[in-house]
Amino acid sequence: MPTLTTLSHTPHEIARPSQEEAEAAVRTLIAWAGDDVLREGLIETPKRVVHAYREFFAGYDEDPKAILSKTFEEVEGYDEMVLLKNMRVESHCEHHMVPIIGVAHIAYIPDKRVVGISKLARLLDIYAKRLQTQETMTAQIADTLNEVLQPKGVAVVIDAAHQCMTTRGVHKTATTTVTSRLLGVFKEDPLTRQEFMTLVCSPAIGSINI
């Protein structure tokens, strides 16, 4: 009999079906769509889909707070904005399980601690690689960064296209959704907020020749 494993780092523990059960579910969906699950082109599809889903939803297996746990205090008094902009976002809508594709801009102003910049990208990916709404994902990234680093301020903006709107339903192919969460000085100080938006909207420097 297939065994169940437990999903961690979720609001409550979820029993995860076995790979065999997941593949059987994919075969059911293929049959429901009207195709023959035994024809040559589809024989291996359930296994491939399960493998892809393991990658798409890998964020359930990681603890976002743990990613930010290693911080640095020896920063020579640096207390200006740290901004990672134009980071690609690949997520999936929790309502239709279709892709959300866009870019994210994440900034914070340190108080006493900074974190390696790659950790901000990993934080983004952990929350993106889950079933999401863009609003929730934006808040989760900002709130986690604020809770762990306790900076002077956090700003997160995500601009993404939802295939539940572009490939089905209303078919608004050119539409993107923009969400933001501003905390601390980014919310309280108009000049800091304006600096963030100016930097986000400024053109890229371009490639650097070494």
Query: pLDDT tens-digit profile of 15-31?
Result: 889 999 999 999 999 99
Which has more confidence, 210 or 55?
55
Which positions are catalytic? 93-96, 134, 162, 164
Buried b (16+ CB within 10 A) or exposed e, 26-43: bbeebeeeeeebeeeebe
Partners of residue 102 on adjacent β-strands: 89, 160
Average pLDDT over residues 84-102: 96
> Which CATH code fits 5-56?
1.10.286.10
pTM for the full predicted model? 0.88
CATH domain 74-201 topology: GTP Cyclohydrolase I, domain 2 (3.30.1130)
Question: 5-56 and 74-201 share one CATH topology?
Answer: no
Residue 94: the pLDDT is 95
Range in 22-26, 113-117, 178-182, 204-208 the model is least confident about: 204-208
Average pLDDT over residues 192-210: 79
Residue ranges of domains in the chain: 5-56, 74-201
